[in-house]
Amino acid sequence: MLKILKYSFFDLMRSRWSYVYFAFYLLLGIVLLFLNNDLSKAVITLMNVIIVLVPLIGTIFGVMYYYSSKEFTELLLAQPLKRPSIFLGQYLGVAISLSMSLILGLGIPFIAYGLLKSNTIWDFSLLLITGTFLTLIFTALAFNIALTNENKIKGFGYAILLWLFLAIIYDGLFLMSLVLFEDYPLDKLSLVGTMLNPIDLSRTLILLKLDISALLGYTGAIFKKFFGTNFGLIVSFIMLAVWVVLPVLRIVFKSKKKDF
Amino acid sequence: MKNLLLFFTVILIAYSTYAHNIEVCNTCPISTLKKAISSAKDFDTILVKKGTYKEHNILIDKPLTIIGKNYPVIDGELKGEIITIVSDSVTVDGLFIINVGTSYTEDYAAIRVRKSKNFVIQNLVLEKLFFGIYLEKSRDGKVFHNKIIGDAIQEYNSGNGIQLWYSKNIEIEHNFVQHVRDGIYLEFSDACLIKNNVSAENLRYGLHFMFSNNDIYQDNTFEKNGAGVAVMFSKKIKMLNNTFKENWGTASYGMLLKEINDAEITGNTFEENTIGINIEGSNRIIYKNNNFINNGWAIKIRGACYTNHFIENNFLYNAFDISYNSKVNDNIFDKNYWTSYTGYDLDKDGIGDVPYRPVKLFSYIVNRTPETIILLRSLFIDIIDFSEKVSPVFTPDNLLDNNPLIKRIIW
């Protein structure tokens, strides 16, 4: 598996797209820092970008990589190799190279700006951690979609739909259900609703560290009580980890059974 | 001889009317403040030397000047009220008063002024207190440069730093109040000036106004108070150049206005409060040149607020600029700077060509269903906010700033 991971990783490292992705974050970081002049504001803007873009790029890139390396995969399948190790290797190769682009692309300008001496370092690390989690989650989901659909167009369609659902439609449904059931106590429902969507979960986690003032209102207190404590933080990270593990398990399961 | 007699008489009269100095110290013939007061004549000066005086219920019933040298300690030993002033023209200066008794039936104060005029209370340090400086039916007094540091833990058994009750024309300046229930409290007190005070980390309010008209408070700092500042049931108040900072909590705000009419709110800074200003039933108020920075809600208008003018304010990076819960609006927003304004200025006159709608759809939704706050900054919310901005359905369509400024106002 490690060999395949290494191969995929270096293959991607050599490809133009990782550089573009890396350069994009580098530019974003530099522009935000030197136009804003305020580290914590920059982190908030960055959060907005990350929770939308990272999942999108994770899904599209994952699907794209799977389809483009399909012939090579079929060649590998002819070799005496375990199937899960082939696909997991490829998955990790993509996910790790994407995460690296993210971490390095954002980390370099921030460190150059003097992040290490500032108090926002924890907020920033939280941002990078959730960003990495989102990459892992959405690449895994993308591989699932690609494994299930032979048809490229269909695969891309589902991938975009998945992103659209989790990034936008889910929140719409969530909002509607909250407004619809406004006569009932909603704190549990809203907590559960947040936990079930990795994008919402990441957003809430970061918001509670940064843009806290609005959330400190009467109802925000319950969220703060949950997410603000170590218990809430641990539960949230476990939830994110579950979001990584489940699709990965399905990759393993699916790849064993799939007929190529 | 006759002349000499006259001369002596004059000297004698002059001498008797001339104010004496009476010294109090632990080793002097007069070793307590009470004894000094009883032996003093009108308009005498009592000098209290450094030391500890264990006294309470000190009654000042004649016009005296009491000056502490190097902060002598007056220790009330938690037995009750410490100094009560019932005479006009009393000055108390430079004492360190500690251990005021706590009572559930009486408001014991470190220093109380009752039905007196022309008093000056200055340079005092009060610690371990119940009530600090309590002015009751008094007028024309000054409270300067005092430092009040309480240790209040619960609201029901703690008192206020500086309390005014039915008092008039009082100047409260350069005081520092911390860790009490209400930093400064005014009830039925008119024509007072509250200036350059710092009121921080109090249990309830930094400043609390009730039924007090024609007062001015300016250049004060209110920071990290339990609920911020409350101004209620008062008319014609001027609030100038104050700073309201970091009042964070489930029911906190920089300033609460309730039933306030004809006030003027100018040049204040509201920074990092859960709610900047919470307005309820307040009419004809002019909000001008205020800064609202990094608040959860900059202004929350609850209802029954008419003919208010919001002119030339800066709204910087608030999660919500305005929250408004009714469809009727006759409040005027004009020439403000809003960081979330996205319009353009083609004719370069510094005023945006597209009106700005400060009430977002999301703030309307949060008003209805507070739990939806969890969706703050979600992409979906940005989309519905945008569509509401294009064609308002839920928010009052005449609530807009027709002349939003392009650059932050600096005055």
Do B304 and B197 share a domain, yes or no? no
DSSP state of A165: I
* Partner-chain contact B373 A174, CB within 8 Å: no
Considering only CA atoms, which of A43, A170, A164 is closest in space to residue B374?
A: A170
- Do B139 and B285 share a domain, yes or no? no
Residues B178 and B61 in one domain: yes
C-alpha B247: how far from its chain's center? Answer: 14
pLDDT in tens, A94-121: 999 999 999 999 888 888 877 677 777 7
Q: Give me the pLDDT at residue B234, please.
A: 93
The helix (run of H) or strand (run of E) holding residue B230 is strand B228-235
How many C-beta neighbours within 10 Å does residue A95 have? 27
Looking at residue A259, its pLDDT comes to 77
pLDDT at B17: 53
Is pLDDT of A52 > 60?
yes
Q: Examine residue B1 and state whether it is found in any structural domain, yes or no.
A: no
Verify that B41 and B162 share a domain, yes or no: yes
pLDDT reading at B337 higher than 60: yes
> Which of the listed residues B211, B226, B241 is the one where a domain comes to its end?
B226
- Is the pLDDT at B236 greater than 70? The verdict is yes
- Whether the per-residue pLDDT at B286 is higher than 90: the answer is yes
Task: Give A86's contacts (C-beta < 8 A, 6+ positions apart).
Answer: A1, A4, A73, A76, A77, A255
Q: Examine the domain organization and report whether B63 and B204 are in the same domain.
A: yes
| Domain, as residue range, for B129 | 19-226
- Binned at pLDDT 50, 70 and 90, residue B313 comes out as very high
Q: What is the pLDDT of residue B366?
A: 86
Distance CA A39, CA B276 (A): 23
Q: What is the CATH number for B165?
A: 2.160.20.10
Does residue B265 sit within a domain?
yes
In a domain, B3, yes or no: no
Q: Mutating which of A127, A170, A213, A236 best tests the B interface, going by the most B Cβ atoms within 10 A?
A: A213
Among residues B210, B226, B242, the one where a domain terminates is B226
Other beta carbons within 10 angstroms of residue A119's beta carbon come to: 10
Mean pLDDT of chain B: 90
Flag whether B365 is in a domain. no
Is A186 an 8 Å CB contact of chain B? yes
- Minimal CA separation from B292 to chain A, in Å: 13
CA of B365: which chain A residue's CA is closest? A179
Q: Which chain B positions have a beta carbon within 8 Å of A203's beta carbon?
A: 377-378
A173 touches chain B (CB under 8 A): no
Within-domain flag for B391: no
Both B95 and B208 in one domain: the answer is yes
- Which pLDDT value is given to residue B13? 54
A112 touching B, CB under 8 A?
no
Mapped onto helix, strand or coil, the DSSP state of residue B68 is strand
Q: Which of B226, B243, B264 is the last residue before a domain boundary? A: B226
ipTM of predicted complex: 0.85
Q: What total of structural domains would you count in chain B?
A: 2
Residue labelled with tokens 């006159």: B349
Residue type, B249: G
Taking a contact as any Cβ pair under 8 Å apart, which residues of chain A between 149 and 168 contact chain B?
Answer: 167-168
- pLDDT tens profile B19-40: 678 889 888 888 899 999 999 9
Contact in structure between B90 and B60 (CB atoms under 8 Å): yes
For residue B126, the model assigns a pLDDT of: 94
Domain for residue B366, yes or no? no
Whether B299 and B400 share a structural domain:
yes
- For chain A, percent of residues with pLDDT exceeding 90: 39
> In B252-378, where do the E strands start and end?
255-261, 264-266, 269-271, 275-280, 286-288, 291-293, 297-303, 309-311, 314-316, 320-324, 332-334, 337-338
- pLDDT at B375 (0 to 100): 86
Q: Which residue has the higher pLDDT, B136 or A110?
A: B136
Which residue is listed with tokens 């005070």?
B197
Both B201 and B237 in a single domain? no
Distance CA A204, CA B294 (A): 18
Quick check: A211 and B274 CB within 8 A?
no
CA distance B313 to B356: 14
Whether residue B79 sits in one domain with residue B174: yes
First-to-last alpha carbon distance for chain B, in angstroms, is: 74
Contact A51 B320 (CB under 8 A): no
CB under 8 A, 24+ apart: contacts of A243-247: A243/A133, A243/A137, A243/A198, A244/A133, A244/A136, A244/A137, A244/A140, A247/A137, A247/A140, A247/A141, A247/A143, A247/A144
Q: Are strands B109-114 and B275-280 parallel, antiparallel or unpaired?
A: unpaired
From the list B194, B190, B278, B192, the residue with the least C-alpha distance to B235 is B190
A68 Cβ neighbours under 8 A, 6+ residues apart: none
Q: Does B317 contact A at CB distance below 8 Å?
A: yes
What is the reported pLDDT for B390? 83
Residues B218 and B74 in one domain: yes
Query: What does the alpha-carbon distance between residue B129 and residue B80 come to, in Å, rounded to a whole number?
Result: 10
Q: What are phi and psi of B62, to 5 degrees?
A: -140, 155
Total-model pTM: 0.85
What residues have CB less than 8 Å from A34, skipping those under 6 apart?
A: none
Domain membership of residue B377 (yes or no) is no
Are B146 and B290 within one domain? no
Q: How many domains does chain A have?
A: 1
Query: Is B178 found in the same domain as B299?
Result: no
The boundaries of the domain holding residue A246 are: 2-257
Q: What is the pLDDT of residue A85?
A: 86
